[in-house]
Amino acid sequence: MKNKLAKLKYLPNNFSIIEHGDHVICAISGKKILLENLNYWNVDEQEPYFSYVEATIKREQNKS
């Protein structure tokens, strides 16, 4: 499944694979995130983030 976009359901502390693939796309930066490197996401927004930097940006956007 190289270079195939996965579809995930983001859960607290885990995610469930809906459509198999090897990566997702960061909701903030647009960077490709390999599933084995996916550590940051928002359950309510159902969005993945490349790193804590993008997750922090999203959190700050939600505060306004």
Quick check: 34 and 15 in contact, CB under 8 A?
Answer: no
The torsion angles phi and psi of 47, rounded to 5 degrees, stand at -130, 140
18-36 pLDDT per residue, tens = 999 999 999 999 999 999 9
- Kindly report, residue by residue over 47-57, the tens digit of the pLDDT: 999 999 999 99
State the Cα–Cα distance between residues 10 and 41, nearest whole angstrom. 7
Tokens representing 33 are 């995130």
Helix (H) and strand (E) counts for the chain?
1, 6
Confirm whether pTM is higher than 0.85. yes
